[in-house]
């Protein structure tokens, strides 16, 4: 029994060491039982005479441990070992107790007690084997749980790190988004300013042409007014003479001159209205417009505008208007802007080609070259075509692919914003039409056969 006491105490200590649970109450009780078991063994070996008394003392200690394992929570890990040794302990206690109070009965049934003792030992060995397997399984489960806990902690750390990275990335993306929105706002503002600058530039060119155009009717108005003044002086003289025939002739001349003054005054008024219409923002309302007159007017305004800026500029203007085109519903000031842009580019191309030929120093090429811009209209089965063709420098293929892109220009810095053709393309697109270009750039022969043609198609 003393050995059983020591085994139980040792296993309890091992269990607590494995689970890393050490309690002050357990330490005190365990040490007391362990010391008592060791003392009992020493005394039993030394004094064999008091073996019976010591056996009952060890029984008391074992019964105390059994009671403690079921009554105190701190001793609960000892239950499995108590359950293992309990049959053997009960067998020994019952055997010694019966032998003490009824020796004859014990002697008669000693074989039965030995058999019970044998089964108790078998039970103990079987339980120890089972407990060992259970401990191994529990240890494996404990290791798995520890690994899972470690993996969970690692995954939690990884999750926390990822959350931090996500937060940082989100902050960066938000900052980039705000920066892009600010840049986009600034670009839109800059684009609006450039578009307005392009409109003002075309307005400046138009104004120069209008100044030249309006000067003619004003000169007529001035001249006929002065002539009428002289005729009125003559009329006074003839009235005094009473020459009715001469008076009638003078009055007839006055009426003719007044008709011409009215005609040229209306012409000047129409030019001013055209300028105002071009300068103000488009209302987007389509109105019936004579395309031939619109094209002719803006062709002449473009030419005179360029002449006003550069007196040395000169080019031939040719027109081929289809009389069947008639009236077309368009936003006249917008289509006028498109024609003005295309004609301005055509005049620039022929002027640039002449300059290039002059720089080559070949007077024969310069004399043979006749800068020409052709503006034509044509009615088709599906709509109206407006063509602007020049015999200027022409365009390489890589340029043709980019000319309708915003801010792309082949002109030197300060001579173009790169928005004229882009705005023209958008205007025609809004009208449901198309703006296309074909060109030939023959640089090997000094551009002799180079040309460019823009085609505006406006559907009915």
What gap in Å lies between CA 371 and CA 239, rounded to an integer?
57
What gap in Å lies between CA 209 and CA 307, rounded to an integer?
8
* Residue 271 within any structural domain of the chain: no
The label of the residue with tokens 């006249």 reads 332
Please say whether the beta carbons of 438 and 453 come within 8 A.
yes
* Residue 118 within any structural domain of the chain: yes
Closest CA to 376 of 409, 412, 343, 417: 343
Please say whether the beta carbons of 331 and 286 come within 8 A.
yes
The reply to whether 307 and 449 lie within a common domain is: yes
What gap in Å lies between CA 222 and CA 241, rounded to an integer?
29
* Residue 163 within any structural domain of the chain: no
Please say whether the beta carbons of 385 and 346 come within 8 A.
no
> Tens digit of pLDDT for each residue in 357-373?
888 776 777 778 899 99
Report the CATH number that the domain containing residue 419 is assigned in CATH: 3.30.565.10
The DSSP string of 273-327 is HHHHHHHSPP----EEEEHHHHHHHHHHHHHHHHHHH-TT---EEEEE--TT--E
Please say whether the beta carbons of 1 and 92 come within 8 A.
yes
What gap in Å lies between CA 296 and CA 321, rounded to an integer?
9
CA distances from 423 to 32, 216, 281, 407 (A): 103, 32, 14, 10
In this prediction, residues 70-97 reach a mean pLDDT of 72
* Residue 35 within any structural domain of the chain: yes
* Residue 243 within any structural domain of the chain: no
> In the 8-state DSSP scheme, what is residue 412?
P
What gap in Å lies between CA 95 and CA 63, rounded to an integer?
16
In this prediction, residues 10-24 reach a mean pLDDT of 47
> Tens digit of pLDDT for each residue in 133-185?
887 888 888 899 989 999 999 999 999 999 999 999 999 999 999 999 988 88
pTM of the model: 0.48
**Has residue 201 got a pLDDT over 80?**
no
Could you tell me the pLDDT band of residue 37, with boundaries at 50, 70 and 90? low
What gap in Å lies between CA 429 and CA 404, rounded to an integer?
12
What gap in Å lies between CA 88 and CA 7, rounded to an integer?
13
Which residue among 107, 132, 156 closes a domain?
Answer: 156
Work out the number of other CB atoms within 10 angstroms of the CB of residue 14.
13
Q: Which domain covers residue 345, as residue numbers?
A: 287-460
> Tens digit of pLDDT for each residue in 279-305?
554 556 888 889 999 999 888 888 887
Please say whether the beta carbons of 268 and 218 come within 8 A.
yes
Structure-token pair, residue 372: 């020409």
Q: Which residues, including other chains, have CB under 8 Å from residue 391's CB and lie 6 or more apart?
A: 350, 353, 370, 371, 372, 450, 451
What gap in Å lies between CA 291 and CA 332, rounded to an integer?
9
Could you tell me the pLDDT band of residue 69, with boundaries at 50, 70 and 90? low
- What does the pLDDT read at residue 388? 95
Q: Which residues, including other chains, have CB under 8 Å from residue 253's CB and lie 6 or more apart?
A: 231
* Residue 269 within any structural domain of the chain: no
Q: Which residues pair with 179 in a beta bridge?
A: none
- What does the pLDDT read at residue 268? 74
Work out the number of other CB atoms within 10 angstroms of the CB of residue 98.
15
Please say whether the beta carbons of 271 and 179 come within 8 A.
no
The label of the residue with tokens 């810095």 reads 413
* Backbone torsions φ then ψ of 286, nearest 5 degrees: -80, 145
- What does the pLDDT read at residue 79? 67
Q: Which residues, including other chains, have CB under 8 Å from residue 284's CB and lie 6 or more apart?
A: 331
Could you tell me the pLDDT band of residue 447, with boundaries at 50, 70 and 90? low
In this prediction, residues 398-402 reach a mean pLDDT of 79
* Residue 191 within any structural domain of the chain: no
Element (H, E) at 458: strand 451-459
Element (H, E) at 212: helix 110-241
What gap in Å lies between CA 332 and CA 273, rounded to an integer?
12
Element (H, E) at 455: strand 451-459
Structure-token pair, residue 189: 């503002």
What gap in Å lies between CA 3 and CA 237, rounded to an integer?
166
Note the Cα 127 to chain centre separation in Å: 71
The reply to whether 145 and 294 lie within a common domain is: no
The count of domains in the chain is 2
Which residue among 89, 121, 156 closes a domain?
Answer: 156
Which residue among 112, 135, 156 closes a domain?
Answer: 156
* Backbone torsions φ then ψ of 433, nearest 5 degrees: -105, -165
> Tens digit of pLDDT for each residue in 302-352?
888 777 777 788 888 999 999 999 899 998 888 988 998 899 889 988 988
- What does the pLDDT read at residue 456? 94
* Residue 259 within any structural domain of the chain: no
Could you tell me the pLDDT band of residue 378, with boundaries at 50, 70 and 90? very high
Closest CA to 267 of 302, 301, 218: 218
């Amino acid at each position: 029994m003393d050995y059983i006491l020591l085994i139980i105490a040792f296993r309890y200590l091992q269990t607590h060491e494995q689970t890393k649970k050490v309690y002050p109450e357990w330490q005190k009780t365990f040490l007391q039982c362990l010391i008592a078991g060791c003392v009992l063994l020493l005394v039993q070996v030394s004094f064999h005479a008091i073996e019976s008394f010591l056996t009952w003392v060890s029984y008391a200690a074992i019964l105390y441990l059994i009671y403690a394992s079921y009554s105190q929570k701190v001793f609960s890990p000892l239950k499995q070992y108590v359950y293992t040794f309990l049959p053997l302990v009960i067998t020994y206690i019952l055997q010694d107790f019966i032998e003490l109070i009824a020796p004859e009965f014990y002697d008669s049934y000693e074989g039965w007690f030995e058999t019970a003792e044998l089964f108790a030992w078998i039970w103990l060995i079987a339980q120890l084997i089972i407990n060992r397997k259970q401990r191994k399984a529990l240890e494996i489960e404990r290791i798995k749980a520890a690994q899972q806990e470690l993996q969970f902690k690692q995954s939690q750390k990884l999750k926390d790190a990822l959350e931090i990275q996500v937060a940082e990335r989100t902050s960066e993306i938000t900052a980039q988004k705000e920066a892009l929105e600010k840049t986009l706002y600034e670009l839109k503002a800059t684009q609006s300013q450039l578009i307005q600058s392009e409109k003002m530039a075309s307005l400046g060119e138009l104004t120069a042409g209008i100044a030249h155009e309006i000067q003619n009717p004003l000169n007529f108005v001035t001249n006929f007014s002065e002539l009428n003044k002289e005729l009125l002086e003559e009329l006074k003289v003839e009235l005094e003479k009473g020459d009715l025939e001469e008076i009638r002739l003078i009055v007839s001349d006055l009426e003719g001159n007044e008709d011409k003054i009215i005609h040229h005054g209306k012409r000047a008024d129409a030019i001013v209205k055209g300028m105002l219409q071009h300068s103000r923002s488009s209302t987007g309302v389509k109105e019936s417009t004579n395309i031939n007159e619109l094209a002719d007017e803006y062709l002449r305004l473009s030419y005179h505008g360029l002449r006003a800026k550069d007196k040395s500029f000169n080019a031939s203007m040719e027109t081929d208007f289809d009389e069947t085109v008639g009236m077309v519903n368009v936003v006249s000031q917008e289509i006028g802007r498109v024609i003005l842009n295309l004609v301005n580019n055509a005049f620039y191309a022929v002027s640039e080609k002449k300059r290039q030929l002059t720089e080559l120093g070949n007077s024969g090429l310069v004399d043979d070259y006749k800068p020409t811009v052709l503006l034509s209209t044509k009615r088709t089965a599906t709509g109206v075509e407006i063509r602007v063709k020049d015999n200027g420098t022409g365009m390489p293929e890589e340029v043709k692919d980019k000319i309708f892109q915003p801010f792309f220009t082949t002109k030197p810095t300060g001579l173009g914003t790169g928005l004229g053709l882009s705005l023209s393309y958008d205007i025609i697109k809004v009208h449901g039409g198309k703006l296309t270009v074909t060109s030939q750039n023959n640089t090997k022969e000094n551009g002799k056969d180079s040309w460019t043609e823009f085609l505006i198609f406006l559907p009915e």
